Amino acid sequence: MRKEEKITVVAQLKERFAKAKAVIFAENKGLKVGQVTELRKALGKERAAMKVVKNRLLKRALQEAKIEGLGSFIEGILTVTTAEADPVTAAKILANFAKENELLAIKGGLVDGRAVGLEQIRALASLPSKEELYGLLLRCLQGPAAGLVNVLSAVPRNLVTVLERIKEGKKPNS
């Protein structure tokens, strides 16, 4: 790789780090091209991107971006995944893929500007997605309103029932 190409790669990495809500490092221990392509497609659907980067260039990009605390993750053949939209979804995709393929080992990363380890990435992957959280919030907001509607409609409904029984000549039950 020529010097100009290296400078370009470092600049692109710095730009991706600046835009990303999460950066996840994983070691590629021999994934096949088809597997990597499948993983990239899944990540691309969620506005995340994965790239294999030389460690020396990655260290330089982190140094120039003034990001610290990630040096221990940089060894072996690394993939760098950056998530611009939802860090939870990208973490889920990587964690699920790593469960199915032992050739991908998540090491750690950067979430909202903080260095995190493997356990924090796993915890992030276990969170519900934004859509699931929106559904939970909607159910929480609809619950009291539905209860109020049921309570308010019970009085007229009971009155109608009593009037129907009176009309039929039956004695109303309390």
* pLDDT at position 55: 87
Please name which of 24, 30, 29, 78 lies closest in space to residue 55, comparing C-alpha atoms.
Answer: 78
Give per-residue pLDDT as tens, 50-99. Answer: 988 888 998 888 888 888 887 778 888 888 999 988 888 889 999 999 98
pLDDT average, residue stretch 143-169? 86
Measured CA to CA, the distance from residue 173 to residue 121 in angstroms comes to 60
pLDDT at 3: 87
Q: Which residue has the tokens 């790593």?
A: 98
Residue 46: per-residue pLDDT:
87
CATH of domain 3-127: 3.30.70.1730
Parse the chain into domains and list their residue ranges.
Answer: 3-127, 129-174
Q: What was the pLDDT predicted at 94?
A: 92
